[in-house]
Structure 1
Amino acid sequence: MEITLLYTSLIAVLAVFLSFKTGLVRGKTNTMLGEGDSSELLQSIRAFGNLVEYAPLALILLALLEMQNLDAWKLHMLGSLYFLFRISHAYGISISRESTPYRLVGAIGNWIIILVMAIYGIYTYII
């Protein structure tokens, strides 16, 4: 489970960073609950929120694939791409309320990696 530990730790650092950033924006806007009328705060909240909505599922799938002895290079490929897509998505949300290439690539990449892991899990069960 060392590979999953690595990517879970990287995602945890990203989550703490995004949470801290949200706290700073809350202090700057003096908005302790909700997002008020601050676009920057809403973007910060959603960058963190979207990560914590999807990351548990992706990391559970990664752990289960590691338990099924998926090749280490494949696990690293899935984990590193997932992490990079999450950074891209968070950055894309942070820079604009509108759709950005970073947000789009991050969102689609997030879905693809989760689907690839899920399909491989189903395949492993059937075979």
Structure 2
Amino acid sequence: MVSALYVVLGALLLIKLSFDVVRLRMQYRVAYGDGGFYELQTAIRVHGNAVEYIPIAAILLVIMEMNGAEVWMVHLCGLLLMAGRLVHYYGLRN
């Protein structure tokens, strides 16, 4: 099952983004919200955006594969998903 690769990559990316938020919360000693720190605001937004898009895209990849899509099409969509999430992360962080 090819889509499982992208589900796992998406999960790993979400874990990494979660750790970024936790690290910044500990660094700035902020338990709730963003404390007005731009870096924390950005990390929260990057993580939130990934949480909004990765699960539905992963479900669509699985459905696509279950409906008999060609393997290269699943890889193409999965790679585009991961590339889009990484470009979003890079764009907001820099």
TM-score range, shorter chain: over 0.9
| Structure 2 letter corresponding to 1:40 | E
TM-score calculated relative to the size of structure 1? 0.72
Unaligned runs of 5+ in 2: none
- Pairwise CA RMSD: 0.8
Q: Counterpart of 2:86 in structure 1: which amino acid?
A: I
Cα distance in 2 between the residues matched to 1:56 and 1:21: 19
Q: Which has the larger radius of gyration?
A: 1
1:1-127 pair list within 5 angstroms: 2-95=1-94
Deviation at 1:51, TM superposition (A): 0.2
Regions of 4+ moved over 3 Å: none
CA distance in 1, matches of 2:90, 2:45: 11
Q: Provide the rounded CA distance (Å) in 2 between the counterparts of 1:52 and 1:21.
A: 14
Distance of 1:8 and 1:94 partners within structure 2: 24
Q: Residues of 1 paired with 2:45 and 2:52: CA distance?
A: 10
Aligned residue type for 2:11: A
% identical equivalent positions: 37
Distance (Å, rounded) in 1 between the aligned partners of 2:17 and 2:90: 10
User: Aligned letter for 1:93?
Assistant: L
Structure 1: gaps of 5 or more residues: 96-127
Q: Separation in 1 of the partners of 2:82 and 2:67?
A: 21
Q: Which has the higher contact order (CA 8 A, sep 6+)?
A: 2
